[in-house]
Structure 1
Amino acid sequence: MKDLFSEQSELYQQARPTYPQALVNCLIQQLNGLECAWDCGAGSGQLTRLIAPYFQTVIATDLSQNQLDQAPALPNVQYLQQAAEQTSFADQSFDLITVAQAIHWFDFEKFYAEVKRTLKADGIFAVIGYGLLELDDQDLNERVGCLYFETLNGFWDAERRYIDEQYQTIPFPFEEIAMPQFQIELGWTGLQLWDYLNTWSAVKHYQDQLHVSPLASLQDILQIKQTIGVSFPILLRVGRLSHLK
C-alpha cells in the first residue's frame, strides 16, 4: 500500500469531506451484530467517527501514523498503525469491515485474504469512496474539470483509475448486496475548496516535479468565493462472505 498523505495529514483531516449519515444508517441496518468493527485505511477518521457510536469497539488502522494522529479521540476506538494486507487481528473478529477512499491503494488479493479471515461468518464488508466533485458554479466546475482531466493528466497515480471507474472494476470476491445511491452534498467557501484541491495526490506530484502549483489560476477566484454548492457521488460496494446463501 502507498502512503501518499502523511505529509499533509493535518490538511487532509481539515479539508476532506465526510460521509452522509444515511449511508451509515443503511450499513448498520445490514448487520446482525454490533460488537466490533474494523475501519481500514482510516486516515484521519472521517468514517471512523461516524460508525463508532454503534459499536462496542472500533479498531481503525492506517499505514500513516501522521494521519491517525489527526483522528478524533473516542472512548471505544483504538487506532493502530498497520498495513491493510497484514494485520494482528484474530480470525472472525469483526461484524463490519470498512475501507473508505483507500482500497485503490491496496494489494487486493492480500487485503481480501485478511478480510475473509477476520470477518465474522455473518459480517458485512463495505468498500466506500467518492468520485470527482461537481460544483453548482458552472464556470468553476469547468475549471476544476480542466484541472483534473487536462492539467493533472499524467500526474495521477495509476490506481486513481479505479475511482474514475466508480469502483466497478475492482475485484470484489464477495456476495454483493444491492445498496441505494448516496451523495455527499456540502456548501463550501472558496477557501475550503482550495484546501480540498490541495489534498489531491496529483497536485502534490505536479508541484514536486514542476516546482509550481497547478492551482495558481484558481487562487484569485477561490479567495473571493463565499458559498459554493459541492456534491460528490458516493462509490459503494457492499458484500458478505460468499459461502453464505
Structure 2
Amino acid sequence: MYPAGARKSLPSGSSQARSLSCSHLPRSSPRSTSLSARHYKPRREPSSFSWLQARYRLRERNHQQAERLAAMANLFLKQAKQYVATRPSYPPELFDFIASKTPRRDLAWDVGTGNGQAAASLAKLYKAVVGTDTSAQQLAFAAPLPNVRYVHTAPDLPLDGIHAAVAGPGTADLITVAQAFHWLDLPRFYAQARSVLRPEQGVLAAWCYTEPRVSAAVDAVFWRLYRGSQPYWAPNRRMVDDEYRGADFPFDPVDGEAHTGPFEFSTERAMDLDGYLTYITSWSAYQTAKEKGVELLDEATVQEFAAAWGGDGKEVKAVTYPIFLRIGKVRAE
C-alpha cells in the first residue's frame, strides 16, 4: 500500500543500494623481547597514536565540510535569481504525508532552506518553523511569515550553536531537507538531528527532485545535454541521480510504513521554452561549465530544443519533476 499522493515506494535496501567498504586498521608491531626494552610499553603507543590520528581526522573532516558547504553557497549565489524564478514547487500531498507522520506539530526545522520554499509550506502545518541556510543571499529571497524564523548559519556551526540558534535538545518534531541532503556531511548531520529531534517521535524527511519530463522529443534533447553536463556537477550530485536510494539513512520507518523509502511524488510547473532554458541556466553545473569556458546551451543545442518544443517556443507546456522522499523517525534506544 502506498501513501496518499505517492505513485510508488522503493525500499532503500534494494539491489541498487550502494555498498560500503570497510577500511582495515594497521597491525601493531610485535613486542620486543630484549632486556633493554623491558620497561617499554608498546601497547599504549598504538592507542595514543590512534587518538591523535582521530583528532586530526575530525579536524580535517570539519574543515572539508565547511569548504563543501561554502562552495555550495557560492554556487547557488551565482544563480539565485534564476533559481527562485524557475525552481519547481513541492506538492501539498508531500507535506501532508510528512506531517501525518509526526505525532506533534509544534516545531519544524528546514535545513538548507534557500529561498524558504519548503519552510513556507511547513508554516501551514506547524506552529513554528525555523529555516536555516549558509547563504544569506538565498535567504534574502525568502518571504517573511509570522511563524517562520530564518537563520543564517555558518557552514561549520557546532551542536551547541544549533541548540542556541535553532532548537534545543529534543524539541523539534520534524527536520526537513529539500534538495540539499546530498550536500551535507551525513554522519555529522545525523548526530545533530538526533540531538534536536524529540526522542522516538521526531521525524527526518529529505527529498530531491530529478530531471524534468516534458515530451519524448524535448526529453531526448535534454538527456543529451544532461550527459554532457556530467563533468561539471559536484560529485554529490550522484546521490540525486540515484534518487537517494543508496544513502545511509539510520532511522526507523515512520508509523504505517514498512521502510524509509524512497517514496515517489511529483510536481508540475507550466513553462514556455524560455522558462525551461532559464531553469537549465540555474544549474550549478551550468555556472561551473561557463566559468571553464564551456557553453552547455550553445546555439545548436538551443535550436534542437526549439525544434523539439515546436512553434515559436511560446507554447506553455506542463513540465513534470519526479520527487523522491526518504523519511524516518528517531530510533528507540
Higher-strand-fraction structure: 1
Distance 1:85 1:174 in 2: 23
> How many residues get paired?
241
Q: Any residues of structure 2 matched to 1:106-145 within 5 Å, and which?
A: 106-121=184-199, 122-136=201-215, 138-145=216-223
- Per-residue CA deviation, residues 21-60 of structure 1 (Å, 9 max, x unaligned), is 1111111111111111100000111211111111221000
Distance 1:185 1:72 in 2: 22
Give the match's secondary structure for 1:182: strand
- The amino acid that maps onto 1:49 is A
Match of 2:8 in 1: none
- The amino acid that maps onto 2:236 is E
Q: Any residues of structure 2 matched to 1:58-97 within 5 Å, and which?
A: 58-83=129-154, 86=157, 87=162, 88=164, 89-97=167-175
For residue 94 of structure 1, report the CA deviation from its aligned partner: 0.8
Pick from 266, 273, 295: which aligns with 1:213? Answer: 295
- Per-residue CA deviation, residues 104-154 of structure 1 (Å, 9 max, x unaligned), is 011111111110000112111101111111112x221111111111x2121
CA RMSD of aligned residues (A): 1.7
- The amino acid that maps onto 1:183 is S
- The amino acid that maps onto 1:65 is A
Structure 1's consecutive aligned runs of 4 or more residues displaced over 4 angstroms after TM superposition are none
For residue 10 of structure 1, report the CA deviation from its aligned partner: 1.9
For residue 182 of structure 1, report the CA deviation from its aligned partner: 0.9
Q: Which structure would you say has the larger Rg?
A: 2
Distance 2:284 2:264 in 1: 26
For residue 233 of structure 1, report the CA deviation from its aligned partner: 1.2
Match of 2:79 in 1: 8
Give the match's secondary structure for 2:237: helix
Distance 2:313 2:218 in 1: 12
User: 2:108, 2:175 within 8 Å by CA — same for their partners in 1?
Assistant: yes
User: 2:88, 2:268 within 8 Å by CA — same for their partners in 1?
Assistant: no
The TM-score normalised by the length of structure 1 is: 0.92
Give the match's secondary structure for 1:238: strand
User: 1:176, 1:237 within 8 Å by CA — same for their partners in 2?
Assistant: no
- The amino acid that maps onto 1:105 is W
For residue 186 of structure 1, report the CA deviation from its aligned partner: 2.6
The TM-score normalised by the length of structure 2 is: 0.69
Match of 2:251 in 1: 174
Match of 2:238 in 1: 161
Q: Structure 1 vs Structure 2: percent identity of aligned residues?
A: 30
Pick from 190, 194, 197: which aligns with 2:273? Answer: 190
User: 2:79, 2:284 within 8 Å by CA — same for their partners in 1?
Assistant: no
